[in-house]
Structure 1
């Protein structure tokens, strides 16, 4: 999926894409785990599999050296899902570890998760997530 830099960002921040997630998708490192979480949601919505892969910690259960199949899996999810909203309910920021609790809203329902992020040499990475509840509308 393509998006105009002047369109509203797919992370539902209310900001234009060029002022929100686009700089991260182009290589700027998010300064907080919350910004990384938003940019990952947006990357899923836009089908930016390489970004998802590059921002996933090696400890994550989805992480694999089989990059081709991992990329196909991400793209399949992105293309078969309509991303309708993102609500962040809690952000706990520490120096090298952070937690973001959020609800991602899709056409088939929603997913609530408390995500753990680790800062590795100045780069935030998604390490794991714990589902807090699921809503199948």
Structure 2
């Protein structure tokens, strides 16, 4: 992936102006931007970023991403709070992918919060 390629999150912005800076360490300004950057990390196989942006209380000890899955599209269905001045937020999304068994959809409502350093982190999600 180059900085000029379209961002995997579907924002319509080049990766270098969208999720690329977040993957390089910039803080996400909103819960939705963190959600988009995490989707892009899944699409790019960036397990390290996923673990770094996951609440230590709920994240797994390691994350083994399935190389046979191809993430194709992210659809944000709804957001609740998670803005510039919020401390918590939720994002409902559908992630569309393809695996060895064909097309699939993952529907989730994810919870986010700001950590002690003021950065957005992923808490957990439920099927939605």
Same fold (TM over 0.5): yes
| Superposed structure 1 runs of 4+ greater than 4 Å apart | none
**Aligned twin of 2:87:** 96
Equivalent in the alignment of 1:15: 13
Residue-by-residue CA offset, 1:27-67 (whole Å, 9 max, x unaligned): 1000111000000000111111110010000232x422xxx
More helix by proportion, 1 or 2?
1
For residues 110 and 59 of structure 1, what CA distance do their matches in structure 2 show?
27
* Count of residue correspondences: 120
Q: What does residue 60 of structure 2 align with? A: 63
RMSD: 1.1
Where does 1:1-137 land on structure 2 (aligned, <5 Å)?
3-60=1-58, 62-64=59-61, 70-71=62-63, 73-74=64-65, 77=66, 79-94=67-82, 95-107=86-98, 108-121=103-116, 122-132=118-128
- Counterpart secondary structure, 2:28: coil
Q: TM-score, normalised by structure 2?
A: 0.89
**CA positional deviation for 1:13:** 1.1
Unaligned stretches of 5+ residues in structure 1: 65-69, 133-137
| Distance in 2 separating the partners of 1:51 and 1:58 | 13
**Which runs of 5 or more residues in structure 2 are unaligned?**
none
Instruction: Give secondary structure in 1 for the equivalent of 2:109.
Output: strand
CA distance in 2, matches of 1:28, 1:92: 23
